Structure 1
Amino acid sequence: MIDVQNYIEELKQLAKGNLRICRMNWWLLKYEEEFKQAIDQTSCKKWAKWLYNGEHPFPCLCPKRDNLCVFIDLYRELDRLTQIQRMETFFEEKFNNFQAIKDSAELITNWMKEIRPIISEIYLTLDKNENLKVRFYNSDPILEVNINKNDYKYTLLCLDIFNYNMYVRGM
């Protein structure tokens, strides 16, 4: 059986302070094969259905999670965050576009229509201090990884602008 606890501990060491995208990518690349092995070894069949059949994995309802499932879920969540981070240039461009049109309600509405399909696919978890986190409560101990939010600067700015205009201004 693979030693996923050591992989998780290595990630926690890499994340001392905040995990940068370059370290996250390195860790994902290093443990890609172990990720696939963990899916084949876990007794939780939702992961195999996700990987091999494309089925959406439902959130874990186990009172205490198996370490293999924690590793799989952590790997999958970090991989999702790297995919979001790859869009940072796109969001920088959208942010700059917004700065040029921010005084026109009509142009803001068009900007929001254009960005909405992408924004609706993104969710990032911020804690009460506005830190970006990956957190699993039903692991023992609770697994928490702080992510360097500077790597998501324009993504977070566009999310804030979109949410403000959508839910505060009602556009």
Structure 2
Amino acid sequence: MLNVGSYIDELLQLSKGNLRICRMNWWLLKYEDQFKQAIDETTCKKWQKWFYNEEHPFPCVCPKREKLCVFIDLYRELDRLTQVQRMEKFFEDYFQRFQLIKDSSDSLRNWMSEIRPTISSIYLLLDKNDNLKIRFYNSEPILEVNINKSDYKYTLLCLDIFNYNMYVKGM
């Protein structure tokens, strides 16, 4: 029997303040086997379809989620965030390019076209105070993990630049 409540509690302790990418990676590595075991043990078959058949898991509609599903979803979301963080160098390069071309409308349009596929493939949840976080409302209690934004500095800068130029300036 998996004690996923203690795994989640450990993560919450690691994330006091904000969770750094090194701690996130450590936690993911530590509980990788339990993650796979939880997929096999959960009564919610969407996780097996996702893991074994690569089917997209639909959001949970359960009024109260079982702990195994919360753990699986949390693990999956943290893993996704580590993949986004691995793109930080890519975004740093694009930010440096933006600094050189920001006053040229044509160059900026080209920059937007180039970065658009990557930007549209990621999403980050920011709260009203611009804190980066993971939040599950249908868990008991509500599960919320704050993520250290400095690990995503250039990713967030490029997202802001892209969104401003796309939706405010209409490029």
The interval holding the TM-score normalised by the smaller chain is over 0.9
Q: In the alignment, what sits opposite 2:9?
A: 9
CA distance in 2, matches of 1:10, 1:170: 44
Cα-Cα RMSD: 0.3
CA distance in 2, matches of 1:16, 1:140: 19
Map 1:82-121 onto structure 2 (within 5 A).
Answer: 82-121=82-121
Note if 1:140 corresponds to 2:156.
Answer: no
Deviation at 1:94, TM superposition (A): 0.2
Q: In the alignment, what sits opposite 1:62?
A: 62
Count the aligned residue pairs.
Answer: 171
CA distance in 2, matches of 1:21, 1:7: 17
TM-score, reference length from structure 1: 1.00
One-letter identity of the residue aligned with 1:154: Y
Deviation at 1:52, TM superposition (A): 0.2
Q: In the alignment, what sits opposite 1:28?
A: 28
Measured against aligned partners, the alpha-carbon deviations of 1:127-171 in whole angstroms (never above 9, x if no partner) come to: 111100000000000000000000000000000000000001110
CA distance in 1, matches of 2:103, 2:17: 38
Deviation at 1:40, TM superposition (A): 0.1
- After the TM superposition, list the runs of 4 or more consecutive aligned residues in structure 1 that deviate by more than 4 angstroms: none
Unaligned runs of 5+ in 1: none
TM-score, reference length from structure 2: 1.00
One-letter identity of the residue aligned with 2:3: D
Unaligned runs of 5+ in 2: none
Taking only the aligned residue pairs, the percentage that are identical comes to: 78
